[in-house]
Amino acid sequence: MRFLRKYTDVPEDVKGLVLAIGNFDGVHRGHQSVIAHAQDEAKKRDVPAGVLTFEPHSREFFAPDAPPFRLSNLETKAAHLNWLNIDVMVALKFDLEFSQKKAEEFVKDVLVDGYGVSHVVVGYDFIFGHKRQGTTVILAELGKKYGFGVTVVEPVGEETVIFSSTAIRECLATGDPRKAATLLGHWWEVEGRVVEGDKRGRTIGFPTANVPITHYHHPKLGVYAVRVGLHDADGSTNWVDAVANYGNRPTFDKKDILLEVHLLDFDEDLYGRKIRVAFVDFIRPEKKFAGIEELEAQIAADAREARGILGADNNRQDRYADKNSQKVLENE
């Protein structure tokens, strides 16, 4: 997958592509439907299929002090798009200047003059341009004016649930990563760099990799069965079973919220490395223990439960053999 950050000086072999446009936060099954339509259109035209997204998310840009809401960062998003076999990922910088582009300016400057799109695919709720004045109807009209096709994909879901980022956040907030995975089409995951902690886990036989995830939507505090993706030098990702605590560690009167991950049957040093953590199942809420011995016994029980959960065949998804997006991002 090629990774581009600008709409100027676009490589000639990319121009004429089909673009799916949106924030694609989480790359859930609704997003995957939009992307699949773009890939179908690209195949008909024998041109590359691309995804155009924005960094930072517009909501993050306009309300930087609001509670974190994102389901995926740039690296995680790229990993999922790479797994979906997208040819080109475009992540345009969303800043004050870009936010002031009127709807037609966006179409002309980015889509027409920049990428020379042959077709554009968007979701039913797509809004664009200064003050959110561009709608799917306006996009279709501009497509006719500038000579490219437009497909608007209707909402998709199952039973009474529409696949949406909002619904996924609600699942995570109530401690239901399995339901979130159903809506996502993959386990929800976060990515972060391992930082040095109190090293208390080593003294009781359960060393942890500590990962701040301050920019992500906050799931329910508690203990989870997770899988940890370790980036290898050859660009692949090796997944290891683990148990994690997401919380403020009340037994030790801590206040800051941290993700602490204990990798099962693993003893390598991870300080400073970026890792991916996929949330598979909720084990229990966080609680305060009377002392170290009680905590140690509970962690051992949590690890046993995580082994059982992660050992089930239905918890292992082939998608986690994907290539590491970090290599894609670094090489562009």
Looking at residue 199, its pLDDT comes to: 56
Residue 132 belongs to some domain of the structure: yes
Looking at residue 267, its pLDDT comes to: 85
Contact 260, 283 (CB under 8 A): no
> Are 109 and 240 contained in the same domain?
no
Top pLDDT among 206 and 73 is at: 73
Residue among 13, 97, 23, 81 nearest 54 (CA): 23
> Are 14 and 140 contained in the same domain?
yes
**Percent of the chain at pLDDT exceeding 70:** 89
On the question of pLDDT at 239 being above 80, the answer is yes
Residue among 39, 27, 29 nearest 121 (CA): 39
Which domain, by its residues, includes 215? 188-316
> Are 13 and 122 contained in the same domain?
yes
Helices (H), ranges, the chain: 29-45, 58-62, 74-83, 96-99, 103-106, 136-146, 165-173, 177-184, 200-203, 292-311, 325-330
Residue 182 belongs to some domain of the structure: no
> Are 244 and 305 contained in the same domain?
yes
The tens digit of pLDDT for each residue in 297-310 reads 889 999 999 999 99
> Are 201 and 138 contained in the same domain?
no
> Are 118 and 234 contained in the same domain?
no
Looking at residue 319, its pLDDT comes to: 45
Looking at residue 253, its pLDDT comes to: 54
- Domain count for the chain, please give it: 2
Residue 318 pLDDT grade (very low, low, confident, very high; cuts 50, 70, 90): very low
Residue 137 belongs to some domain of the structure: yes
Residue 103 belongs to some domain of the structure: yes
The tens digit of pLDDT for each residue in 198-233 reads 655 555 568 889 998 888 999 999 999 999 999 887
> Are 196 and 311 contained in the same domain?
yes
CATH number for the domain spanning 152: value is 3.40.50.620
